[in-house]
């Protein structure tokens, strides 16, 4: 078992003991613990490549539940060549004619890869069902076949982790309102988000049936309380590290080599087009 397992295991997660209801995690504590978890994610990354593991992580949840923030926290210090995020757009006409899971299967990991789905094949059981983009017959077919498909995925050697981020009504409202006038977030608020916001209980019913039908011993659902974004991120990463077995690979101390001598080299007399160096902070 790795040192990371001992530090961030069940008995000693980075987030510490169970949080009191409503207790927000201070930024200082969050930054410290996230940095420690990032070190473990790098160790995991090296182990996945070394052993040729295949890891698939699915993130689902309502709009505003914090999926993007969790994924960003995971990806911050790892290689995008090994950790790969898949966020598919709406299907094309050709894809609509295919077997439903076909366009997702092609993105599953090969040896030495960790694939993160920012929404996944579970679109059919969620947004497509609630917004009327598929028939009820198609939904029931999906719910019936998915456990078997996921069993085949797991039996092929893929480590499959499925996370549902659970956000409260009040917190979702606050987050969506914050996107309305924030120029950094307006791309996150689409007409589809507004329609789905009004259908809270339709989504609740869809979520309940989805979890009931597709929570299996080989591909269980893990539910994450996400009203506190920082705690949710730490909890997911800590859980991920506990559920993908890894060890710390030995590594030699790196020492930079001596640079070569210039041997007559001089800087060229070339009019480089440097960008303007502005005065910061800006007063605009």
| 3-243 CATH | 3.40.50.300
pLDDT attached to residue 4: 41
- The mean predicted confidence, pLDDT, of the chain is 91
Model pTM score: 0.88
What share of the chain in percent tops pLDDT 70? 92
pLDDT reading at 15 higher than 60 = no
CA distance 243 to 44: 11
Long-range CB contacts for residues 16-21, cutoff 8 Å, separation at least 24: 19/228, 19/231
Per-residue pLDDT of 176-210, as tens digits, reads 999 988 999 888 888 888 888 899 999 999 999 99
Counting beta carbons within 10 angstroms of the beta carbon of residue 253, is it exposed (0 to 12), middle (13 to 18) or buried (19 or more)?
A: exposed
Per-residue pLDDT of 61-76, as tens digits, reads 999 999 999 999 999 9
SS3 state of residue 83 = strand
Q: Where are the domains positioned within the chain?
A: 3-243
Least confident of 11-25, 78-92, 143-157, 204-218: 11-25
Average pLDDT over residues 134-146: 97
Token pair for 283:
């007063």
Per-residue pLDDT of 215-266, as tens digits, reads 999 999 999 999 999 999 999 999 999 999 999 999 899 999 999 999 999 9
Phi, psi dihedral angles at 160 (to 5 degrees): -110, 120
Q: Residue 49 is inside which H or E element, if any?
A: helix 27-51
CA distance 152 to 174: 40
* 146 vs 196 pLDDT, higher one: 146
Average pLDDT over residues 119-135: 95
CA distance 130 to 240: 30
Q: Which of 241, 48, 277, 105 is nearest to 161 (CA)?
A: 241
Q: Report whether 197 contacts 63 (CB < 8 A).
A: yes
């Amino acid at each position: 078992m790795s040192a990371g397992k001992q530090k961030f295991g069940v008995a000693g997660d980075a987030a510490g003991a169970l949080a009191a209801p409503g207790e927000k995690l201070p930024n200082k504590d969050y930054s410290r613990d996230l940095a420690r978890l990032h070190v473990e994610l790098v160790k995991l990354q090296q182990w996945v490549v070394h052993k040729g593991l295949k890891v698939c992580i699915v993130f689902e949840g309502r709009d505003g539940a914090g999926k993007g923030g969790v994924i960003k926290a995971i990806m911050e210090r790892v290689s995008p060549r090994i950790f790969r995020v898949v966020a598919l757009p709406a299907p094309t006409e050709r894809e609509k004619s295919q077997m439903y899971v076909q366009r997702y299967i092609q993105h599953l990991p090969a040896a030495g890869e960790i694939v993160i789905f920012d929404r996944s094949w579970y679109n059919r059981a969620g947004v497509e069902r609630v917004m009327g983009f598929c028939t009820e017959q198609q939904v029931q077919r999906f719910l019936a076949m998915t456990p078997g498909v996921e069993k085949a995925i797991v039996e092929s050697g893929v480590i499959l982790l499925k996370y549902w981020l659970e956000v409260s009504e009040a917190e979702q409202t606050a987050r969506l309102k914050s996107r309305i006038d924030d120029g950094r977030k307006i791309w996150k608020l689409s007409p589809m988000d507004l329609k789905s916001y009004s259908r809270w209980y339709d989504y609740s019913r869809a979520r309940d049936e989805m979890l009931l039908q597709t929570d299996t011993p080989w591909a269980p659902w893990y539910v994450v309380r996400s009203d506190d974004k920082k705690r949710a991120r730490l909890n997911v990463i800590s859980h991920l590290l506990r559920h993908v077995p890894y060890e710390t690979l030995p590594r030699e101390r790196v020492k930079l080599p001596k640079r070569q001598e210039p041997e007559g080299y001089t800087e060229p007399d070339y009019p480089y087009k440097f960008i303007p160096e502005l005065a910061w902070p800006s007063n605009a």
